[in-house]
Structure 1
Amino acid sequence: MKAAYLEAIRLTERLHRQFLELIKSELDRLGIEDINNVQAFILFNIGSDDLTVGELTNRGYYLGSNVSYNVRKMVENGYLMQERSTHDRRSIRVKLSAKGLELCQIMDRMFDRQVAALGEVATEAELTSSANTFRRLERFWIGMLDYGLRS
């Protein structure tokens, strides 16, 4: 069980890196140089939502410690618009600009192409089963942190 558990962890990290490389490849192919792959994926996950930076992190749309830096760069490069919350002046809300929406549509078409090619790799049922396993692992790890079950 331990070997399978550790292999699943290694694969998860490797898959995430490979996925980000796919996004980078698409950006390079299109000559888009003012946003990186992580920022583009954050942008895609924001979609039509209007979120705070904290909500980006809480929803799991971003992995890492530089979310504020990435948001600032996306605002500077015209992909995001930001404004102070009317309810809490300390909180800044972000949403996609027209340029951000355009990139989001480009990424959506990229994902459509990937899904069309996925039939050779996995079925929808297999992907759903994998996602369910990942959710259970996520809950397990959260439980380990929440209940002090760390060794």
Structure 2
Amino acid sequence: MKETYLDAIRLTERLHRQFLELVKAELDRLGMEDINNVQAFILYNIGREELTVGELTNRGYYLGSNVSYNVRKMVENGFIVQERSTHDRRSIRVKLTAKGLDLCNRMEAMFDKQLTALSGGMSQEEMANASNVYRRLERFLISMLDYGIRSQGMF
């Protein structure tokens, strides 16, 4: 079980890295040099919403990246705009510009192509089962952080 558990953790990291490589390949195909793959994925996850940087960070899609730095670069390159919240002046909200929305739409088309290609090799049920296993692993790891490690002195 130990080797299987560690293999699942390694596979999760490799899947994320391969996914980001696909995003990078699409950006290269589009000739987009003013945004990187991590920034494009952050942009995609903002979508048509208006979020704070804290909300983006809490969503946790950005393995090893500095969300504040990436937001600043996307503002500089015209993909998103920042606005101070009218309700909480300390909070900065971000949303996509027309340029950001265009890239978001292009990424949506890329994901649609990937899903079409994937449909021949994996069923909706298999994908749902895989997602459920990853959610359970995530809950387990969070529970270990919240309760297990601290109370059991594992480190």
Give TM class, smaller chain: over 0.9
How far apart are the structure 2 equivalents of 1:112 and 1:121?
Answer: 15
The answer as to whether partners of 2:38 and 2:65 remain within 8 angstroms in 1 is no
TM-score between both structures, scaled by the size of structure 1: 0.96
Query: Where do residues 52-71 of structure 1 align in structure 2 (5 Å cutoff)?
Result: 52-71=52-71
How far apart are the structure 2 equivalents of 1:82 and 1:61?
Answer: 20
Deviations 1:86-120 (A, max 9, x none): 11111100001100000000000000000000023
How far apart are the structure 2 equivalents of 1:87 and 1:28?
Answer: 40
Alignment pair present for 1:29 and 2:29: yes
- Tell me the amino acid that sits aligned with residue 40 of structure 1: A
Please, what is the CA RMSD of the aligned residues?
1.1
How far apart are the structure 2 equivalents of 1:84 and 1:141?
Answer: 35
- Tell me the amino acid that sits aligned with residue 115 of structure 1: L
Report the count of equivalent residues: 151
Q: Partner residue of 1:85?
A: 85
Q: Partner residue of 2:94?
A: 94
Gaps of 5+ in 1: none
Structure 1 residue runs of 4 or more that deviate by more than 3 Å after TM superposition: none
TM-score between both structures, scaled by the size of structure 2: 0.94
Deviations 1:55-108 (A, max 9, x none): 001122323351110000000000001101111111100001100000000000
Q: Partner residue of 1:112?
A: 112
